[in-house]
């Protein structure tokens, strides 16, 4: 069984629900990471084998970060973008300052919170073979995690508006197929040479080789409102990586879907979440979102069954399908006002999954 770990980015808000720049102070009270904006914190689990261990770490990291936020008069909220207007401030850091100078408003408006899932691979060759086979399924993961319908006080009409803001970076979005680790490295070198990325950490592919760990890092998702959905996302990503690695070992060709179509599929996932249709990897045409998710589960079922996670995934998916995504939950609260949306989201951030 491959290891899996999760990095989650969170919004920091004041008691009125407005983003507040206290990340540096909060980081003194808990083992959290600073991000581009002072209105954000990031947590990360250790690599895990058992889903139960991962669930426990997700819960612990969220509680610790929430406590650190409380100690500086803020609240921790798992939302992809802020429902209420705010003025983001860059974290004092030479790298972040260079990014802001180079990318202007794109950097200054990046108050967005995502979820990154790391899955262990044996080497870069296996990692690239996996990345080349993940692309058509990644929009489904974005739809499952969609949790950012509001931006600067308005309803954007998107389930994941974070995905729209994030893709302003010139290296963000789908990539490949590469065919080999050498070709992947050459692509990264080319991006650095053009100035589209200032360093390898700014290569923001939806799925990439981690620069720090022997993992494939899937970065397409919004931060999930609920821990249970973050657990579902992580277990599915691990199963997708293992399935792709087996396909590569068996000599099954990578799908080779054109980037234009992958971008369109991701746009649809971000626009509608699970509320309309998604692009089916099998046909390249739209189908009911639930049917595409079910096709994903069928695709990875042999791995999930071997790892004893099939029943868990079915249960988590049933719960998510019944209550809706984080975006759906936020919109249901919107008639009471966006401050209430933020307050309820802060409470939901700390609701346990019952599995850790």
Average pLDDT over residues 74-87: 97
- Residue 243 belongs to a domain: yes
- Residue 48 belongs to a domain: yes
Give me the pLDDT at residue 176, please: 85
- Residue 355 belongs to a domain: no
- Residue 299 belongs to a domain: yes
For the chain, give the secondary structure using H, E and C. Answer: CCCEEEEEEEEEECCCCCECCCHHHHHCCCCCEECCECCEEEEECCCECCHHHHHHHHHHHHHHHHHHHHHCCCEEECCCCCCCCCCCCECCCHHHHHHHHHHCHHHHCCCCCEEEEEEECCCHHHHHHHHHHHHHHHHHHHHHHCCECEECCEECCCCECHHHHHCCCCCCECCCCCCCHHHHHHHHHHHHHHCCCCCHHHCCECEEECCCCCEEEEEEEECCCCHHHHHHHHHHHHHHHHHHHHHHHCCCCCCCCCHHHHHHHHHHHHHHCCCCEEECCCCCCEEEHHHHHHHHHHHHHHHHHHCCCHHHHHHHHHHHHHHCCHHHHHHHHHHHCHHHHHHHHHHHHCCCCCCC
- Residue 354 belongs to a domain: no
**Per-residue pLDDT at 352 exceeds 90:** no
Average pLDDT over residues 23-41: 95
Output the domain CATH number for residue 204: 3.30.590.20
- Identify the domain containing residue 154 by its residue range: 4-349
What's the rounded Cα separation, in Å, for the pair 166 and 35? 14
Give me the pLDDT at residue 258, please: 95
- Residue 151 belongs to a domain: yes
Neighbours of 187 (CB within 10 A): 16
**Per-residue pLDDT at 354 exceeds 50:** no
pLDDT band for position 210 (cuts 50, 70, 90): very high
**Per-residue pLDDT at 272 exceeds 90:** yes
| pTM exceeds 0.85 | yes
**Per-residue pLDDT at 290 exceeds 60:** yes
Domains held by the chain: number? 1
pLDDT band for position 29 (cuts 50, 70, 90): confident
Whole-angstrom CA distances from 86 to 8, 89, 115, 185, 245 are: 21, 9, 22, 38, 43
- Residue 177 belongs to a domain: yes
Give me the pLDDT at residue 355, please: 39
Give me the pLDDT at residue 92, please: 96
- Residue 336 belongs to a domain: yes
pLDDT digits (tens, 9 = 90+) for 96-153: 999 999 999 999 999 999 999 999 999 999 999 999 999 999 999 999 999 999 999 9
pLDDT digits (tens, 9 = 90+) for 292-308: 999 999 999 999 999 99
Task: Work out the mean pLDDT of the chain and round it to a whole number.
Answer: 96
pLDDT band for position 353 (cuts 50, 70, 90): very low
Give me the pLDDT at residue 356, please: 35
Give me the pLDDT at residue 259, please: 96
């Amino acid at each position: 069984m491959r290891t899996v770990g999760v990095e989650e980015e969170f919004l920091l808000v004041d008691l009125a629900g407005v983003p507040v720049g206290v990340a540096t102070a909060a980081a003194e009270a808990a083992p959290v990471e600073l991000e581009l904006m002072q209105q954000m914190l990031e947590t990360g689990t250790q690599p895990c084998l058992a889903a139960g261990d991962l669930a426990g770490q997700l819960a612990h990291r969220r509680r610790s970060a929430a406590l650190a936020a409380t100690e500086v008069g803020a609240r921790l909220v798992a939302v992809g973008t802020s429902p209420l207007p705010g003025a983001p401030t860059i974290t004092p850091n030479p790298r972040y300052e260079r990014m802001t100078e180079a990318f202007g408003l794109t950097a200054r408006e990046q108050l967005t919170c995502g979820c990154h899932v790391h899955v262990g691979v044996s080497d870069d060759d296996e990692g690239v073979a996996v990345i080349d086979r993940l692309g058509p399924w990644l929009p489904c993961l974005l739809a499952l995690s969609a949790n950012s319908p509001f931006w600067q006080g308005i309803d954007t009409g998107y389930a994941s508006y974070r995905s729209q803001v994030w893709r302003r970076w010139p290296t963000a979005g789908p990539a490949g197929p590469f065919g080999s680790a050498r070709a992947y490295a050459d692509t990264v070198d080319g991006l650095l040479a053009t100035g589209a990325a200032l360093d390898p950490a700014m290569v923001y592919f939806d799925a990439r080789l981690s620069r720090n760990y022997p993992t494939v890092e899937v970065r397409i998702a919004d931060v999930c409102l609920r821990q249970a959905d973050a657990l579902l996302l992580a277990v599915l990503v691990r199963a997708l990586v293992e399935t792709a690695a087996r396909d590569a070992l068996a000599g099954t060709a990578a799908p080779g879907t054109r980037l234009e179509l992958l971008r369109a599929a991701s746009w649809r996932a971000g626009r509608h979440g699970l509320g309309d249709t998604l692009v089916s990897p099998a046909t390249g045409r739209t189908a009911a979102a639930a049917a595409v998710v079910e096709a994903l589960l069928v695709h990875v079922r042999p791995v999930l069954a071997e790892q004893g996670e099939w029943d868990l995934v079915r249960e988590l998916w049933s719960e998510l399908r019944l209550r809706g995504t984080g975006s759906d939950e936020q919109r249901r609260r919107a008639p009471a006002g966006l401050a209430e949306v933020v307050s309820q989201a802060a409470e939901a951030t700390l609701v346990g999954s019952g599995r850790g």
